Structure 1
Amino acid sequence: MLERALPSHMRPLILTVEDDADIQQMLEDLLSRADYQPILVGSGEAALRYVADHSVDLMLLDLRLPGIDGFEVCRQLREVDGSQLPVIMLTANQQEQGVVQGLNYGADDYLTKPFVPAELLARVSRLLQRGEQRRALVDENEGLHRMLQLTQHDLGVAQTVSSNEGLLRRELLHNVTTHLQALCGVIESEFRRTPPGASREVVQRILGRVRGAALVYEVSEALQNDPVRVDVLIETIASAVKSIYSPRKRLPVTLGGGPVELPLVYASPLAMVINELVTNCFKHAFPNQRFGKITIEYTLAPTGFRLQIADDGVGMVAQAPVGRGRITVTELVQNLGGSVTWQSDDAGTSVAVQVPVAVPSA
């Protein structure tokens, strides 16, 4: 099967996985006229190779392919590679019973052949907009992750400043946080008023950057004191991550635990652990707009600080490689002399963190 590619430019790149030459030609003409950059491949193996080596904005995936079929392509993208690439399945009339299976494997949408060209373009446009928003959310959270890493060092230095300097620092952080949150509200209102298109995407990017900056200062403000109110820190991080991934309260977060104070040397790395684990719940536990809940429980006992974060999502894939986030959590907890355990099945995932902390005598 001939594989063709247009010259690289700024148009969204659509990988079309289809072994029928006539349908290939029709899709190439349709997508090109709509200002997309179509890349055509004729097998599932070729699609996986291309995605591994190139940046793709969306995939049109036929279910019936030579070699590995569309179901297996989608499964490998989601379960093995962890890809968030938007996927639209193309299925024949007699394959409608496979639609549910395809969606369960992680496809975002489907079209039945023969399809209406205008409908295909509308679905492509919708998923591309959703993908742009998802990338903006990832950028925000990665910024928060980098901030927490830098905070460990910066706050250690800040402990040496005078009380007046510390007071000024806290006041500055509070003022910047307040103004950035207000600015987020203004930009979000403008985003809702802007019609779909290039201008709306620009406003979305600006909103993501400003919201990420606001979160940086908000969490930094929570880490200014020593000892740190860990209950306030947990609530701040959980609320911040939820505002990124589930702003319309589709996934409620329940906190269980009273006021707890920990030395800064423990609270700062634990902030990174909490951010990684809560983010993982929102990003991976509830695919395909699945409903569910997240529970965060914590306590400080004579044996140390215990944290448990659980979700009732789809559970972790047993054969999937260990991701960067899980490695980061393990290293941070072990550096504190603690332990972390994961339990996961089709009823959800639970992560328990135990850190030895000396509790002062009453």
Structure 2
Amino acid sequence: MQIKTLDAVDPSSPGNAAAGERPPTTATILVVDDEPMALQMFADLLQARGFGVIAVARGEDAFQWLDAVDLVLLDAMLPGRDGWSICREIKEKYDPLLPVVMVTARTAPDDVVRTFEAGADDYVAKPFHAAELTARIESRLRVHRAERALQDANRQLSALADQNYTLYDQARRDAEERSHLLRELDHRVRNNLSVIMGLVNMERNRRPPRPVGEALASLESRLRSFLMVLEALRRMNYRTVPLREIAEKMAQRLRNSMGLDERVELEITGSVPGLDERQGFALALALNELISNSLRHAFPDNRPGCVRIHLAEEREEMRIEVSDDGIGSQPGERSGVLGSGRSIVEALVRGELGGQVERLPSERGTRVLLSFPRTPPAA
């Protein structure tokens, strides 16, 4: 849509494009000149060469059209605010890349310098030749398009650089995470193998040695407890070990494996906060020994009974009590909660947890208390 006016265009007038709306032509020129005849002449000339034209007579009216045009043809000698002042404001406050061609009768060196210092991209001297004016306008439009294309390319390159940096940073963090996971995996494998070898060595160094079948069954039970903790850790994303859940599952597994589910009850009460990996493994193995010994030795001759496990935290100290109402035992005897696994339990609680194993008085059966600090000792 081509627009030609001799006075300032009213954006709300019917038939005129609204301010900021770009006419659908190859290029649109904003002509600013206070002389009606000059304004008409510029408009006719530019339209004849295929340009869209917006023409205004006052410099102040130019600002509302800047978003709609590709070039400003600006008379230097405007009444009120001159063209140099208008040009400077366009470049400083609106769009420094929008080409401005000044039209001036003053071509002395100082005036030319003043024109370029105001930010003009080119100038045309009055009186002008139509071919020269058109050539200068087309030249500035080519430069303008190139500048816009370069600006768009820089914007795209900047976005691509940001994207590449984001991808690089993500790749770096992924690599660091993989490296950390590999180190953590190596650490876990070494620790787990150390625990397993420790269990094997305990059984091998046992005096007097147990029959092979009994020793293998005991070792299998310990390994199952170990795997139970591993499974819980995996499910909890290796954050904490849910001890009560481990104790419940372990006690049920041991009771069922010994065929005692019909005559020995299990009672598990209380709770403790989630434990770390080291605490979880040590306590699971210790509980395996205590529960196994209680089920195996406290209820002979088809005697019914109950094994109780109570979990509590008191003043930053964890307290795990395992008791039964079986036949009880005297110090040094093999029956009851501690029984033959005493050395293993004490090694785990004292060595791994920095805690104590205490046999408590009981009117019936056996009671053993494991206590250790909430914060584990340094490895």
Q: Which has the higher contact order (CA 8 A, sep 6+)?
A: 1
> Could you say which TM-score interval applies, normalised by the shorter chain?
0.3 to 0.5
Q: TM-score, normalised by structure 2?
A: 0.40
Larger radius of gyration: 2
